[in-house]
Structure 1
Amino acid sequence: MSESSKAIYVWGVFAASFFMRPIGSWLFGWIGDRYGRKTSMTISITLMAISSFLFAALPTYAQVGALAPFLLLAVRLLQGLSVGGEYGTVATYMSEVAQKGKRGFYSSFQYVTLSGGQLLASLLGVILLALMSKEQLQDGGWRIPFIIGGCVAILSFFARRHLKETLTEEDSKKEGSGSLKEMLTKEWRPFLLVVGFTSAGSLVFYVLTVYSKTYISSLGFSDKITGYMMTIALFVYMCAQPIFGIISDKIGRRASMLSFSILSAIFIYPVMVFGMHHFSYSPVIVTLLLIFLMMILSFYTSISGIVKAEMFPPYVRALGVGFAYAVGNAIFGGSAPAVALQFKNVGHENTFFIYVIIMLLICIFCSSKLPKKPKYLHHDD
């Protein structure tokens, strides 16, 4: 199997778990709207901890033969189920506990933690590459990040047990609460809008935070240097989220979404295709170019949760936010690295960014349909 084929296989497994996310978002969205946000978040983080430890304990091909890749896929699907349940309920909870007038700022911390996880993974990669040989990493060093991830999930579990519930008894007992049919029948317009701009937002997010590592390596940088570059870029990106959340509280969600989609459509091709190749001799300049695109992305990610939560009533909010996000994310976000590598495999890697721009044009249309003032949450005490 060629290196590119191996990479496509790896990203294919990565993408497969994303197709479990709509199921997870439906299941945990139903739990969140019917039995409480706290209950849903506690169960989902428990599954996440279990899947992390199962990853760390996976047998090798030498131990179980052809069963190994199937076990990997099974654990990855379990992880996808738990992650699918996380987004909608966490986004809903953070938007509901945030102070009026500062919801963009407070909800931005969802992506602080999400990008923080990627930063931790990147930092661990740098440390492990410095301390262990390639053979040692293949022999068992790769299990270390999953053990750490499982421990972090356990800490999160205990923290969530002390959260205050935001779902009211009235909303939990309302007819149709947590019902997928109710949400798709009565809230189909916001559902389609969320799917529309999530598709582009998730696509750009995974291009810049996941696929870009492969892309930058192809420019001639070593794995160690690429790791440093990604770690620095992700750190700046993580720190920028609250700033862009504050900006959104000032200019509005619609303006932030339009800023993301228009600026990304303008700059992603010239920066990724021309800029990074032209300055491929300088890791500093390439890192700055990546950070520039991540700052544009921050117009979306800083308000990703709140802009969706403000579109759905509380009795189907966790389901509406999570399921719409998961559908767009599964089809376009999770598949991004695999699709990009397929384009590269046939000699048309740059064409992939045309595909990204087309999705961003759809995002511009969907963003333009957002109301200037949110339908829900803005009037809450």
Structure 2
Amino acid sequence: MNRMPNDRPPPSQTMRVGAAILGNALEFYDFTVYAAFATWLAKAFFPAANPSTSLLLAVATFGVGFVVRPLGGILIGAYADRFGRRPAMTLTIWLMALGSGMIGLLPTYEQIGVLAPILLVFARLLQGFSAGGEMGPATTYLLESAPPHRKAFFGSWQLASQNMGSVISALVGLLLALLITPGATDSWGWRVPFLLGILIAPVGYYIRRNLDETMDAEEAHGSIGGVLSDVLANHWQKILLCILLISGATITQYFFLYTATYAINTLHYDQSWSMAASLAIAVSGMVFSLVGGALADKYGVKVIAVVPRLIVTLLLYPALHLVISSGSPLVLLIVAASLMAIHAMSSGAGIILIPMIFPSAVRTSGLSIAYALGVTIFGGTAQIVFTWIIAATGDKLSWVWYVIIMSVLSALATLAIRVPEMRRSEPQEAKPAAALAGASS
């Protein structure tokens, strides 16, 4: 790739990466805002005599969004390897906005009965399909846009932009807590963050429509079926290891996303403190994901993916014990943000390790399939498992052991992954989308 004298990316490259980051942040805002407002969705769509039952149904519906993530990852990932990263990222934008808009506009259970939760499930399925397809093309685009010596830093923007979406979600929740009464939030305020998510379509499409393409059309398979046949037949061992790598990371990530629900329902803190904690966690994750990427470029991707993972695993139980024994929401905020910083460094490096081990022709598919399956199996069930463990044991700390065990497994899988050297000719100079379309037609 052409370099400027100071070896910094040219402005056009920076704009391309910025477009991928912002679009990804908006996508994950739409998908994760559900977790922050699970308590209110439970009341609106799953009224029950026992609040724990109502909440369990709501977080189960959050998990429904993960059911179709592998399908989105498989189909949109293969589409991106066949026709390009840009059209795949544009498609996911529209699907996510549709799902978010549905949730914001749906009548409640009180208004239309059982049809309300059924439609909510359908909206989550749309969001899940989109989220499953978004991550692979966006991450691959970041990797293929990066200078050879800054691949991990560029790739770490994937997780940073996910946390950016959580920052937006937490800010919206905090503003609602400060500006309107709890009764108003119960009545109509919970709809606001989902209605804001509709903006993802025009904004996302605008910032992505002029992206240049990074896929090498000469290496692309002739069909989507060819892509899937190659990745599943020749790279399934890599996919299995990557699923295990993702397991501990995604469970820990949803451990942090669960903070707002945990603070309100288990620790009985008020809404403003729980949203403030979510905001602090998201900001910490956004910043330290990039720190992890920068350190990975300097010390090695596997080193930074494993060492912080083991540190946060050792600290989880004593840190949560401190939170509960203190009874202070401020302690919750500080401890959670600190743990998130260590976790984010590991995940910022780990997320880029996956596409680096796949060849260009199946890079998006390999990443998409492994990530979608890992997040579906482990992330999609995390909040259900957390809620069930706490309810079954009556122990506010019991759920932490699940996070610890899976984090250890994740570190072992990371150590087992062999990282080949990517050819220095990759990525090639980004190609105009029109030229790529002509080559692949």
1:1-381 alignment to 2 at 5 Å?
1=48, 2-173=50-221, 179-208=227-256, 210-217=257-264, 218-272=266-320, 274-281=321-328, 283-347=329-393, 348-371=395-418, 373-376=419-422, 380=426
- Whether the aligned pair in 1 keeps the contact of 2:302 and 2:349 (CA below 8 Å) is no
Work out the CA distance in 2 between the residues paired with 1:176 and 1:44.
17
Residue 324 of structure 2 aligns with an amino acid whose one-letter code is: H
Work out the CA distance in 2 between the residues paired with 1:187 and 1:315.
12
Give 1:175 deviation, angstroms: 7.5
Residue 360 of structure 2 aligns with an amino acid whose one-letter code is: P
Q: Runs in 1 of length 4+ with deviation above 4 angstroms?
A: 174-178
Residue 392 of structure 2 aligns with an amino acid whose one-letter code is: V
Q: Which segment is superposed worse, 111-120 or 69-78?
A: 111-120
Give 1:286 deviation, angstroms: 2.4
Distance 1:180 1:264, change over 3 A: farther
Gaps of 5+ in 1: none
Residue 405 of structure 2 aligns with an amino acid whose one-letter code is: I
Give 1:159 deviation, angstroms: 1.0
SS in 1 for 2:149: coil
Gaps of 5+ in 2: 1-47, 428-441
Q: Which segment is superposed worse, 345-354 or 99-108?
A: 345-354
Work out the CA distance in 1 between the residues paired with 2:224 and 2:174.
49
Work out the CA distance in 2 between the residues paired with 1:10 and 1:182.
39
Work out the CA distance in 2 between the residues paired with 1:289 and 1:42.
38
Work out the CA distance in 1 between the residues paired with 2:350 and 2:310.
16
Q: Which segment is superposed worse, 236-245 or 93-102?
A: 236-245
- Whether the aligned pair in 2 keeps the contact of 1:88 and 1:322 (CA below 8 Å) is yes
Distance 1:135 1:255, change over 3 A: same
- Whether the aligned pair in 1 keeps the contact of 2:312 and 2:339 (CA below 8 Å) is yes
SS in 2 for 1:380: coil
Q: Which segment is superposed worse, 130-139 or 71-80?
A: 130-139
Higher relative contact order, structure no. (Cα contacts within 8 Å, ≥ 6 residues apart): 1
Work out the CA distance in 2 between the residues paired with 1:269 and 1:337.
18
Distance 1:178 1:206, change over 3 A: farther
Residue 213 of structure 1 aligns with an amino acid whose one-letter code is: A
Work out the CA distance in 1 between the residues paired with 2:242 and 2:424.
18
- Whether the aligned pair in 1 keeps the contact of 2:313 and 2:404 (CA below 8 Å) is yes
After superposition, give the CA deviation of every residue in 1:237-289 in whole Å (9 maximum; x if it has no partner). Answer: 212222221011111111011113311321112212x12123223x3332221
SS in 1 for 2:246: helix
Q: Which segment is superposed worse, 357-366 or 212-221?
A: 212-221
SS in 1 for 2:148: coil
Work out the CA distance in 1 between the residues paired with 2:193 and 2:334.
27
After superposition, give the CA deviation of every residue in 1:167-210 in whole Å (9 maximum; x if it has no partner). Answer: 111122368876333212211221111101101110001101x1
Distance 1:54 1:178, change over 3 A: farther
Q: Once the two structures are aligned, what percentage of the paired residues are identical? A: 29
Q: Which segment is superposed worse, 152-161 or 23-32?
A: 152-161
Distance 1:305 1:161, change over 3 A: farther
Work out the CA distance in 2 between the residues paired with 1:51 and 1:153.
11
Work out the CA distance in 2 between the residues paired with 1:292 and 1:377.
37
Work out the CA distance in 2 between the residues paired with 1:229 and 1:57.
28
Give the TM-score of the pair, scaled to structure 1.
0.93
Give the TM-score of the pair, scaled to structure 2.
0.81
SS in 1 for 2:399: helix
Residue 382 of structure 2 aligns with an amino acid whose one-letter code is: A
2:15 counterpart residue number: none
Residue 339 of structure 1 aligns with an amino acid whose one-letter code is: V
Work out the CA distance in 2 between the residues paired with 1:304 and 1:38.
23
Tell me the C-alpha RMSD between the 2 structures.
1.9
Number of residue-to-residue matches in the alignment? 377
Q: Which segment is superposed worse, 238-247 or 65-74?
A: 238-247
